[in-house]
Structure 1
Amino acid sequence: MTSPHTGRWIRLDGTTNMRDLGGLPTTDGGRTAPGRILRSDNLQTLSVADVRRLVGDLGLREVIDLRTTAEILLEGRGPLRDVAEVTHRHFSLLPERGHHTDVFAVEEPPEDLAEGWLESLLPRRVAEHDEGEPPAVRSYLGYLGQRSDAVVDALRALAAPVPGAAVVHCAAGKDRTGVVVALALAVAGVPHEEIVADYALTAEIIDALVAKLAASPTYAEDMVSRDVASHTPRAETMERVLAILDERYGGPLGWLEAHGFGADEQAALRARLR
């Protein structure tokens, strides 16, 4: 049997971890629709040919950026920012001082930017009952616990009935992107085991992904200070996160309902992915 994950990769010059969320089986016997939502690593190094393929061939019209304000400022304008047809939205999954909802507004540091803006991230806090979880699980629960508003807003952006495709991304396209995508796929009716398999697929390209990020001054220190194995996504990480959502909320949909992403919005996202 051919894996539903085979053939979903989108090979570009400037990305390493881009793939289509279409083609995944659902619990009711259907499949997610291709060409609607993509997931990716950083888009800063797209080539001219990449932009032409994404916008022209794949119909990309929206970018959902989960990076922090500091990352965006350090990395600078990506080539898709110059494409009028593409809308950019920014939802940081890490706590920051201040609130930003549009990436364009923070692409250039304002003249009165406070000293120490690079240290603008607030310390991550881990709920006491989650302190015994593995580090990656703690991080993912931190996104859900500390930035639930940004998680929900990112899903609302993906659910909007806009024409064309959307891409959701962070730096590596595995952690912050992985959590948002896991919730989106759950809404579409994709079973847990397929959500986990999609998450773990990044392991196939982890060497190239680490090398790409290591070439950027923004991410180089983190890449070289840890070995590749520590960056590699493990299926048991997402399995544990989904299990916790099952235990505490009756599943991902219960978490979404509890955080204001109700039945109508879930139906809209399901329609976008189905």
Structure 2
Amino acid sequence: MADLGLPFHAISGLPNFRDLAGCPLPIQSHPGHTIKSGLIFRSAEPSRLTEDGVAALQDLNISHVYDLRSRTEIERYATGTREWSGAERVFVPVFLDEDYGPEAIAVRFKNYTAEGTEGFVEAYRGIWEAGTKPISTIISHLAKPDPSPLLIHCTAGKDRTGVICAFILSICGVDDQTIAREYALTEVGLGDFGDELLKAVTKIPELQENPEGAKRMLGAKPENMLAALKALREQHGSVEQYLVKYCGLSEDDLELVRKNLIVPSQ
């Protein structure tokens, strides 16, 4: 397992903002190579960005902001949206509005709050089953010649964002242990915003009597991502096979992503 540093940027008003770069590739396949910096960023939702935060994002030349939330979710948590000059907000919800009704929420939250990894595996399975369009859209961006920098976010920048980022790293050859370690950085990145999210989710009726389950729901333990990647391969053979069969991407698309993202280590 690679030893990841802390790739966070201090962006005023934007928790959990970090560069997906710095994940080294296995020595056996790509000795001395890593993921390109300054191209793929991930974060929590950006509604609280300050003007200084916006200026910092503009300095990073982020051209597209991929918002994975549903409209219902944005309204439920009263987070709203945030747009700024130079960046296009692309609304690519993983779950459609009608998939975020009370019954669906209860089932999904029950999956997240269960002890062990099984709940997260099923929750993340729901993400890759419902999220073929946003996954295709984001990876297609990275398959363009000389792609521009992008930001991927949901609410916490943990689950939907984490699954998509895991797939991007996987097709580049990053090993599962390193992917899981990168995913777990969210527990550092959320900071005070994580406490605010915990207060918000414990107001949901299904979670009011289960505070420990709510904490588990907001966690980002490496074993959750490891189990999810194992389950995806058991179901689809590989991340690449899933992307080609269900997301409409081609082998050429995936090879272009590798060409754009894999660079020599400094």
TM-score by length of 2: 0.79
> Equivalent residue for 1:261?
249
Match of 1:123 in 2: 104
Equivalent AA in structure 1 for residue 188 of structure 2: E
User: In structure 2, what residue type is equivalent to 1:76?
Assistant: G
Evaluate the alpha carbon distance shift between residue 189 and residue 156 of structure 1 in structure 2; reply closer, same or farther with a 3 A threshold: same
Using the TM superposition, give the Cα deviation of residue 201 of structure 1 relative to its aligned residue in structure 2, in angstroms.
1.4
Match of 1:62 among 61, 64, 72: 64
Question: Are residues 272 and 45 of structure 1, via their aligned partners in 2, closer, same or farther at CA, if it must alter by over 3 Å?
Answer: farther
- Residue number among 223, 227, 240 corresponding to 1:240 in the alignment: 227
Query: Secondary structure of 1:181's partner?
Result: helix
Give the drift of 1:133.
Answer: 6.7
Deviation readout 1:103-146 (Å, 9 max, x if unpaired): xxxxxxxxxxxxxxxx66883789xxxxx972211110011123
Query: What is the letter of the counterpart of residue 87 of structure 1?
Result: E
1:121 & 1:152 partners in 2: Cα distance?
A: 28
CA distance in 2, matches of 1:51, 1:267: 33
The question of whether the paired residues in 1 share the 8 Å contact of 2:69 and 2:92 is answered with: yes
2:72 touches 2:97 (CA, 8 Å); kept in 1? Answer: no
Q: Give the whole-Å Cα distance in 2 for the aligned partners of 1:169 and 1:121.
A: 23
Comparing 173-182 with 134-143, greater Cα deviation is found at: 134-143
Alignment match, 1:180:
164
Judge which range, 242-251 or 176-185, deviates more: 242-251
Query: Which SS does the other structure have where 2:63 is aligned?
Result: strand
Give a deviation string over 1:139-191, Cα, whole Å, max 9, x none: 10011123323322232234344654111000000101000000011122211
CA distance in 1, matches of 2:138, 2:148: 17
Q: Does 1:16 align with 2:4?
A: no
Aligned partners of 2:118 and 2:88: how far apart in 1? 36
Q: Contact 1:178–1:199 at 8 Å: present in 2 too?
A: yes
Q: Secondary structure at the match of 1:60?
A: coil
| Deviation of the 1:96 alpha carbon | 2.9
Rounded Cα–Cα distance in structure 1 between residues aligned with 2:169 and 2:256:
13
Q: In the alignment, is residue 31 of structure 1 matched against residue 34 of structure 2?
A: yes
Query: In 2, Cα distance between the equivalents of 1:159 and 1:257?
Result: 13
Identity of aligned residues (%): 26
Describe the shift of the 1:50–1:221 C-alpha distance in structure 2 as closer, same or farther (beyond 3 A). Answer: same
Q: Do the aligned partners of 1:97 and 1:122 also contact (CA within 8 Å) in 2?
A: no
Match of 1:271 among 220, 243, 259: 259
8 Å CA contact 1:38, 1:167 repeated in 2: yes
Give distance in 2, aligned partners of 1:167 and 1:203: 19
Alpha-carbon deviations, 1:65-106, whole Å to 9, x = none?
Answer: 11112234543331xx131x11111111113349xxxxxxxx
Equivalent residue in structure 1 for 2:143, among 138, 150, 159: 159
CA-to-partner distance for each residue in 1:178-228, whole Å, 9 max, x for gaps?
Answer: 00000011122211111111111112245523224358x7x6735984343
RMSD over aligned CA atoms reads 3.0
More displaced stretch, 222-231 vs 58-67: 222-231
For the Cα contact (< 8 Å) 1:61–1:86, is it kept in 2? yes
CA distance in 1, matches of 2:102, 2:84: 28
**Structure 1 alignment gaps of length 5 or more:** 99-118, 127-131
2: CA distance, partners of 1:222 / 1:268: 43
Runs of at least 5 residues in structure 2 that lack an aligned partner in the other structure: 109-115
1:104 paired residue number = none
Whose relative contact order is higher, 1 or 2, with alpha carbons under 8 Å and at least 6 apart? Answer: 2
Equivalent in the alignment of 2:130 = 146
Retained in 2: the 8 A contact 1:206–1:232? no
Q: Which amino acid aligns with 1:22?
A: A
Deviation at 1:64, TM superposition (A): 0.8
